[in-house]
Amino acid sequence: MQVGKNVKPFSLTEMLQMAGEIADGMAYLASTKFVHRDLAARNCMVAESSTVKIGGIKFTAIKYCYII
């Protein structure tokens, strides 16, 4: 995707699809006992196919989990 004047904004449907992909990615990380620690828009990269990749990962492994 090129940045410029002729780029159309994403539709609501596309943004909801992206939000779902981000949530799925974070759920996957949680299932492997990792925490991203810096999820923000600046760390979400959108490919030409509107697929979202999560970057800027500062992983933390969860060693202990206390439920109160």
User: Mind telling me the catalytic residues?
Assistant: 38
DSSP the chain: ---STTPPPPPHHHHHHHHHHHHHHHHHHHHTTEE-S---GGGEEE-TTS-EEE-----EE-------
